[in-house]
Chains A and B, each alone.
Chain A
């Protein structure tokens, strides 16, 4: 499903060449839930951006469902992301002037799906994340945890092959953090959607089935359990 093959990424900073990722290599299977664990500056966010096609790697290749995304141009990447990739952001990134339902529908709007169909799909997913009664509310009327649930519903609306979650609990309290991770695990198990969760929190990583740990741009450990990775 996801193949990261000898990935190296570097950039020139103040005339000095800085390598952020060094020969990173791993694969993720369909339906897996993987945590990408690392401290600040370990290169985990760069790796996420490369996997999402938001950056081009210096060397190596990234394949999602067999397609090398580093070879795609901007429009091809937009098309690819639209159908194959879901995103969950740390700060939720909902459009404030759209309602909860409209926010969830947005990726389908870019796909040109009819309003009726969009509405039905959004309603179904919002029910699933426990926000069926708040569909016509605006993001500003919701709590942080509820907004992240909306973000999760939005990431799943296109039934993507893989969902990248960038510090999904970074802005939440411990109780809500647990609820969100529980929800992600439940969705992973029931919908068989692949999740890659980028986090610096060990507690979050520990809840996933597999942890890939990065340190100074290198993959230092990969394990089936977060505890093992530590």
Chain B
């Protein structure tokens, strides 16, 4: 008997018992949709986490700090050998390590404000690093390019957003109904508007951290030589808080000195312990898989490497647990659905006993009868699987709509929160068909064992 004939006969049977077929297919559809939604949920969360991690916790990067002094404190002799120090020579050595794509010194300076065209803005974090390495570290510029010129700064897209203009603010408040100055903070549309700052001169001033004997503000004129690309798929209200900037190490040193002067010689940030030392070095590794290997080599230099691999592994473990739980729920629903198929197919076996008997008399053997029922239930599974795919798309679409409605409109945010990866669809279909086949085994064997003579006898 040909596969086409099995399929045709099976389809005819399903078509004839349309109500039973639809009920069984619905059971399978709910089960397979649960699996698809569960996997998609896990996949979407995983994807979202990866995006977040790549944005904040770059797993193919490594931060290197000076090593810990085994004696507990530095020697009194300033000329004594300090093999655990982070030196320029060691930075050069690290650059030549296998799998290291780039190395750059790294120093963070916190909280500056700037003025441009009578507008005020802030930069929460300035990173002093070799600007020509930005590209190696995946920092992409929307405008301009990195250069070694003095007094140059590269701003993040977020740093150009929401510049405060006192005149405009007053006019807006008047237009809003004469409301007086209010401290209540809401994200207004103007805060999301970027201001064109490329090639403009800004006056950068450290914000007073409020400790120690503060002196008069000291500003430094800088030229904006580049603007970073706007992050994709991230809501504007998140981007506007990502106010960072890049400067050269030399400029970083000057800014740190100004900061120290303004704070009366006090250390504003622990990451910049001594302006003469290299506090951190960032390494770019060619692949996440090689990070561990480089980490070992860096340790041999008596330095202290830090990566985000541990965090990624923990996150992956958590994701695996979430996927397991949701997948398990889907499998349980499929199991329940399979019972409905077993019941329906077994009932069908009883209802069609006479037909099975006739087929046996006409020459159908055990295998052919068994296969007929198996293919019928596999078709049922396939129908359920396709319905499950449709159902899962509706569910995902519904969840996305609900989440977007609940969280309110966020310009620039990724429209699709949950998505179905193409590889999940055949998997959902496979589970549905397998449910059909496995549930069909018992009825099929039962049907094939029907005694032809008993079946065709009429009472």
Contacts and interface: CB of A to CB of B under 8 A. Distances in A.
Contacts of A83: 363
Contacts of A93: 354, 358, 456
A178 B426 CA distance: 59
Interface in B340-372: 354-355, 358-368
B452 A54 contact: yes
A111 B363 CA distance: 8
Interface string A85-117: 001010101011110000000110111101100
B12 A106 contact: no
Nearest to B449: A74
A91 B16 CA distance: 21
Interface SS of B by simple majority = helix
A110 B361 CA distance: 11
A74 B4 CA distance: 25
A74 B366 contact: yes
B13 interface: yes
Given A95-B355, A98-B12, A87 B1 contact: no
Given A54-B452, A89-B456, A91-B458, A107 B4 contact: no
A95 B355 CA distance: 7
A67 to B, nearest CB: 15
A13 interface: no
A97 B364 contact: no
B366 A75 contact: yes
A78 B363 contact: yes
A97 B15 contact: yes
A154 B365 CA distance: 18
A176 B355 CA distance: 25
Contacts of B368: 110
A225 interface: no
Contacts of B364: 78, 82, 110
A79 B359 contact: no
A55 B12 CA distance: 31
Nearest to A157: B362
Given A49-B453, A54-B452, A97-B13, A81 B361 contact: yes
Given A93-B456, A95-B358, A97-B12, A112 B2 contact: yes
Interface residues of A, number: 29
B365 A106 contact: no
A110 B363 contact: yes
Contacts of B452: 54
Nearest to A84: B363
A39 B208 CA distance: 118
A52 interface: yes
Nearest to A98: B12
B362 A106 contact: yes
A205 to B, nearest CB: 22
Contact of B359 (A74, A106, A115): A106
Given A55-B453, A109-B1, A115-B4, A81 B458 contact: no
Contact of A107 (B9, B363, B458): B363
B5 interface: yes
Contacts of A87: 361-362
A200 to B, nearest CB: 15
Given A89-B456, A97-B16, A98-B12, A75 B365 contact: yes
Contacts of B367: 75
Nearest to B365: A78
Contacts of B361: 52, 54, 81, 87
Contacts of B355: 95
10 contacts: A74-B365, A81-B361, A82-B362, A89-B358, A89-B456, A107-B362, A109-B1, A110-B1, A110-B364, A115-B5
Given A95-B355, A109-B2, 18 more contacts: A52-B361, A54-B361, A54-B452, A54-B453, A74-B365, A74-B366, A82-B362, A82-B363, A82-B364, A83-B363, A97-B15, A97-B16, A110-B1, A110-B362, A110-B365, A110-B368, A115-B5, A158-B363
Interface of B: 1-2, 4-5, 9, 12-13, 15-16, 354-355, 358-368, 452-453, 456, 458
